[in-house]
Chain A
């Protein structure tokens, strides 16, 4: 069953706290549509990150666990190991996953943990007000990169391509990067999420879907401009598509 119109059952019909033009809301919806299609609402657990989607439990209509900032993949490991037939979703922002939680994501992926990462890459720290993230592009301004990200001299490092980094690990089975900039990419992103969730429910892991997502507020743009900025700046560097697919289904 594919939802063509209407509100997903797994998503509460409340107004979110997200800013206009924010990608988190669309991504929540995609996750919930797939859960509904898989009939998995009552056996899903969402791991809330520490970031703008810290309130994910207000919106997702099923169980949730809130771990410390960046430790989400470690906590998801504990949840999934105890509930192997459940759908465990590890929802993380770029600061959460690629800065403070780098060790946790790499090792969970390397162990081939059978949960799914939903990695929202908005190239900024949204919740704390626009600081540089590990995914902030070279030259991109942030409150802590007032003259733009300067990788070497200012010691800001280079933007991290998470899917490509994780692809080197034998434990990873499915890594894809989508975006929520237009309807076509939203549909594609949903397909990636569906593949990853189906794989998880078959007992295959580790899977992660990275999603390029606008943060108009901290990019200091209007929603429309932020979509353009994402297309012109993020998409050339963070290439969309399936970065790695060694799922058993794929080889058939």
Chain B
């Protein structure tokens, strides 16, 4: 039975999707522009007799998630840019201990305290392993309230499947705006299988001890662990790449953008069409793994790219790496919380096309 469409804020839709994904524990700390998400979880997790704690800091919150995840429970935290910086220590440890968890970043503009307006300048931090050490984790970027709900729901599954943190990287606009959303079916957390590696319930099976840890002081052993993880990353690159494209075969110039920027780019594409100009749109949905293969294919066909971002140019580096000199890669961005307009993007595209 399909659900009715509801009008919801992005932050609330993410919260509801997490509840429905069987999230047993949420830990958060207030920060704009994601406060509705924490408040939503407070109400709905407590109503369902699940765990909600307003932590003393983002550092504490991610480590509470670490503990809950160590027992195998689906668990989550959310924050915005400055708070995500504080979580990086915990994310590095979670990657080192192979713990599934969901982390939502409703990004604002930085650096430092920056502003509370939407930003996309956390791309490097999110996709490069923002803490110390050799690691990556999945990063998914929704463009709408519907997709924010769908990707959050999926994030819990991917986290369990690959035993790693999954980050939802949205921006303040996606978090704050209201759109219609059809919500996924509710999973009862009790119905989820117990994870064989999780701590607790040893008495049930008398199994060997489980240790959730990222430490190993023997260099060759640690190297083997890291290499095994990187093998897993290669598998993820084969199966979890996600993107959307519009008119990429026909157009010579392809706009590349994720999240809010992709909506602006789509607007520019439609304006261009009305003027008889063909533009393409390539929208990465998985930022890690980045859809590098498809970009390489398009580059090999001689396409030009214009990366559109709400930053000084971060994702554009992945486009350049993927194009690998085969296709020209250009950049247009606004930062500081300014959202580029469709007109600005179209003007830049026309300039590049010599029109």
Partner-binding segment picked from A71-79, A140-148, A205-213, A241-249: A71-79
Complex Cα distance, B212 from A57, in Å, reads 10
Complex Cα distance, B75 from A86, in Å, reads 19
Partner of A62, one of B53, B202, B212: B202
Complex Cα distance, B59 from A111, in Å, reads 17
Asked if A228 lies at the interface with its beta carbon under 8 angstroms from chain B, I say: no
Q: Chain A residues near B25: list those with CB within 8 A.
A: 78, 81-82
Complex Cα distance, B70 from A63, in Å, reads 10
Q: Which residue of A lies closest to B65 (CB)?
A: A78
When the two chains form their complex, are residues A63 and B199 in contact, meaning their CB atoms are under 8 A apart? yes
Q: Which residue of B lies closest to A76 (CB)?
A: B67
When the two chains form their complex, are residues B67 and A104 in contact, meaning their CB atoms are under 8 A apart? no
| B69-104 interface bits toward A, Cβ cutoff 8 Å, 1 = contact, 0 = none | 111010100000000000001100100010000000
Q: Chain B residues near A62: list those with CB within 8 A.
A: 202, 209
- Minimum CB–CB distance for B145 against chain A, Å: 29
Asked if B341 lies at the interface with its beta carbon under 8 angstroms from chain A, I say: no
Given A43-B203, A57-B209, A77-B53, decide whether A83 and B71 contact each other with a Cβ distance below 8 A.
yes
Partner of A74, one of B64, B97, B201: B64
Chain A's interface size range is 20 to 34
- Minimum CB–CB distance for A100 against chain B, Å: 10
Asked if B302 lies at the interface with its beta carbon under 8 angstroms from chain A, I say: no
Asked if B247 lies at the interface with its beta carbon under 8 angstroms from chain A, I say: no
Complex Cα distance, B201 from A42, in Å, reads 7
When the two chains form their complex, are residues B200 and A43 in contact, meaning their CB atoms are under 8 A apart? yes
A-facing residues in B275-294 (Cβ within 8 Å): none
Asked if A185 lies at the interface with its beta carbon under 8 angstroms from chain B, I say: no
Q: Chain B residues near A103: list those with CB within 8 A.
A: 56-57, 59-60
Asked if B109 lies at the interface with its beta carbon under 8 angstroms from chain A, I say: no
Chain B's interface size range is 35 or more
Q: Chain A residues near B90: list those with CB within 8 A.
A: 68, 71
When the two chains form their complex, are residues A104 and B97 in contact, meaning their CB atoms are under 8 A apart? no
B-facing residues in A87-115 (Cβ within 8 Å): 103-104, 106-107, 111
Complex Cα distance, B65 from A78, in Å, reads 6
Asked if A218 lies at the interface with its beta carbon under 8 angstroms from chain B, I say: no
- Minimum CB–CB distance for B165 against chain A, Å: 14
Complex Cα distance, B201 from A243, in Å, reads 33
Q: Which residue of A lies closest to B204 (CB)?
A: A42
Asked if B125 lies at the interface with its beta carbon under 8 angstroms from chain A, I say: no
Asked if B320 lies at the interface with its beta carbon under 8 angstroms from chain A, I say: no
Asked if A66 lies at the interface with its beta carbon under 8 angstroms from chain B, I say: yes
Q: Chain B residues near A65: list those with CB within 8 A.
A: 66-67, 70, 199, 211-213
When the two chains form their complex, are residues B211 and A66 in contact, meaning their CB atoms are under 8 A apart? yes
Complex Cα distance, B206 from A48, in Å, reads 22
| A22-47 interface bits toward B, Cβ cutoff 8 Å, 1 = contact, 0 = none | 00000000000000000000110101
Asked if A61 lies at the interface with its beta carbon under 8 angstroms from chain B, I say: yes
Q: Which residue of B lies closest to A75 (CB)?
A: B67
- Minimum CB–CB distance for B350 against chain A, Å: 51
Complex Cα distance, B61 from A77, in Å, reads 10
When the two chains form their complex, are residues A68 and B63 in contact, meaning their CB atoms are under 8 A apart? yes
Asked if A161 lies at the interface with its beta carbon under 8 angstroms from chain B, I say: no
When the two chains form their complex, are residues B211 and A78 in contact, meaning their CB atoms are under 8 A apart? no
Q: Which residue of B lies closest to A83 (CB)?
A: B200
When the two chains form their complex, are residues A79 and B68 in contact, meaning their CB atoms are under 8 A apart? yes
- Minimum CB–CB distance for A69 against chain B, Å: 9
When the two chains form their complex, are residues B64 and A77 in contact, meaning their CB atoms are under 8 A apart? yes
Q: Give the one of A47, A61, A75, A104 with max B CB within 10 A.
A: A75
Q: Give the one of B90, B200, B210, B215 with max A CB within 10 A.
A: B200
Q: Chain A residues near B214: list those with CB within 8 A.
A: 66
A-facing residues in B22-67 (Cβ within 8 Å): 24-25, 27, 51, 53, 55-57, 59-61, 63-67
Show the binding face of A for B, using Cβ within 8 Å. 42-43, 45, 47-48, 54, 57, 61-68, 71, 74-83, 86, 103-104, 106-107, 111
Show the binding face of B for A, using Cβ within 8 Å. 24-25, 27, 51, 53, 55-57, 59-61, 63-71, 73, 75, 89-90, 93, 97, 199-203, 206, 209-215
Which 7 A-B pairs rank lowest in CB-CB distance, beginning with the nearest? A78-B67, A78-B68, A75-B67, A74-B63, A66-B213, A42-B203, A63-B199
Name 6 A/B residue pairs within 8 A (Cβ), A-sorted: A63-B209, A68-B63, A74-B55, A74-B67, A78-B66, A82-B68
